[in-house]
Amino acid sequence: MKIYRLFLFGGLIFTDIIKHFTGIEFLSTIIILFILIDLFTNFSNFYVREIYLIFTVILLTFISINVWDSTYTIYSYIGIIPVIWLLKTIPLIKIRKFLILILICNFIIAFYEYFFQTYIYEALASRNGEEILLSYREISGNVIRSKGIFAGPLSLANFALGITLIFRKDKYIFILSLLICLMCNARLGILCLAFIYFLDYWKFNFKKIFSLFFIAYFLYLIAIYILDTSGLLRIINVFDVQSNNHTMRLYFMTSAVSLFSDYSLFEMLFGNSGALLAKVGNNAESGWLTLLVENGVIGLLFYLGFWIYAFLKSIRLKLDSELSSLIILFVIMVSQTYYLSVIGPFLFWVPILKNYIKPKQL
C-alpha cells in the first residue's frame, strides 16, 4: 500500500478544518481529481461490474452538473468514487487502524470542547449563496455539544456511527463512538449504538434480563456525569413526538413532498439540487426524501437499488451482522441526510459496496 493514498483519504476527512486554517478552496475537488488519476492508472485491477459502476457515477455526475440549478449535493454522486477507490487500493485492516487514530483524535478534541464549552474552530456553511458562521452558541444552544474536526456535532456523530457499522466486531471503535456520540448529544447515534450493543454483545437470558435494570441505572448515572441536565433532557425528548424538533422535521419532509409534486417530468427524473434549500432553508431531514428531491427518481433508485442488492446478498449468505448494519443504515436515512457532505458517501456506501466490490487484500 502506498502511503500517499492514506494522505488523500485523510485529506477528505479533514477537509473542513484544513480549509478553515489555510483558506484553501476546493480542496475536496482537488483530492478527488488525484483519486481519479490513481483510479484510472490501476484500471486493469477492476472487474467489469466495478468499471460499469465507476462510469455510471461519472455519467450521473456529468448530467447533474448540467441540469441542476446548483451543485449543492454533487458529492451524492462524485463522492462514491473515493469509496470505490478506497476499497480497491487500501486493505481494510489498514483503513481500520487509520480510522481508529482519527476517532481517538476526535475523542480528545471533543472532550476538550465539552469540558471548556467551546469549539477549536467555528466552520462556515453556505446557505443560498450566503456564508453563515456555525458558532458554538448557534449550534449548541443551551446544550453542550462537541464537534471535533467536523463542521458540526451531527457530522462527527455520523462519522463515529458509520465507522462502527463498517467495523462491527471492533469493541474499541464501539466504545469510542459511544463516548463521542454522548459528547455530541447525538440522539439517533446513541440509540443505534445501543441497538448494536444488544445485537453484538448481549446474549439474553433470565439472569441478564434481571441485571439489565441495574446496568440501565448505572448508565443513567454515567449519563448524568457526562451530560448536563439540558443535554440529558434533549436525549429523552427524542421520544416526544410533539416536540418542536419533530414538528420542524415533519415540516421539512412535507415541504419536500410538495416541492417534488410541482416538478416537471425532467426534474422528477433527475431532481434539482438546492431547490429545497432555497425554498425552506434546509434539507428534507430524511436521506431518502432528500435524494428524491435533489437527485430525482433516478438518484433515489440508484441508492435504493444497491442497498437492496446488499440486503438480499446478506440474507442469502446469512451475514447477520452486515444485515443488521444495513437495516440500521436504512433507518438512519429515514430521519437524517446521512449521505451528504464530502465524507458522507463513505459512511453510506462502504457497508453496501464491500460485498459488491472485491476489496484489496493484504
The helices-and-strands tally (H runs, E runs) of the chain is: 19, 2
Mean pLDDT of the chain: 83
User: Does 36 reside within a domain?
Assistant: yes
Q: Please write the tens of the pLDDT for every residue from 42-95.
A: 877 788 888 899 999 999 999 998 889 888 888 999 999 999 999 888 888 888
| CB-based contact 85:39 (threshold 8 Å) | yes
**Is 361 inside a domain boundary?**
no
Q: Max CA-CA distance within the chain?
A: 62
- pLDDT for 214 beyond 60: no
Q: Which amino acid is at 19?
A: K
Q: Give the pLDDT band (50/70/90) at residue 260.
A: very high
CA distance 337 to 347: 11
164 lies in a domain? yes
Q: What is the mean pLDDT of residues 236-265?
A: 76
- Residue 16 within a domain: yes
Mean pLDDT, range 103-110, rounded to an integer:
95
Adjacent-strand bridge partners of 133: 124
Mean pLDDT in residue range 1-5: 78
| pLDDT band per the 50, 70, 90 thresholds, residue 215 | low
Of 211-215, 233-237, 268-272, 338-342, which has the strongest mean pLDDT?
Answer: 268-272
Chain-centre distance for alpha carbon 250: 21
Q: Which residue do the cell numbers 444497491 mark?
A: 306
What is the residue range of 328's domain?
A: 3-353
Share of the chain above pLDDT 90, in %: 40
Residue 223 confidence class, pLDDT cut points 50, 70, 90: low
pLDDT of res. 24: 83
Please name the helix (run of DSSP H) or strand (run of DSSP E) that holds residue 280, with its range, or none. helix 275-280
- Cα torsion 266, 268, 269, 272: sign: positive
What is the arithmetic mean of pLDDT over 140-160? 86
**Whole-angstrom distance, CA of residue 159 vs CA of residue 163:** 6
Q: What residue has cell string 489498514?
A: 94
Residue 160 has pLDDT above 60, yes or no: yes
Determine, yes or no, domain membership for 362. Answer: no
Does residue 204 have a pLDDT over 80?
Answer: no
Domain count of the fold of the chain = 1
Residue 310 lies in a domain: yes
Residue 276 lies in a domain: yes
Taking each helix axis from N to C terminus, what angle separates 187-200 and 171-184, rounded to the nearest 10 degrees? 160
pTM score, whole prediction: 0.85
Q: How confident is the model at residue 212, as a pLDDT?
A: 55
Q: What DSSP string runs through 294-322? A: HHHHHHHHHHHHHHHHHHHHHHHTT-HHH
**Does residue 358 fall inside a structural domain?**
no
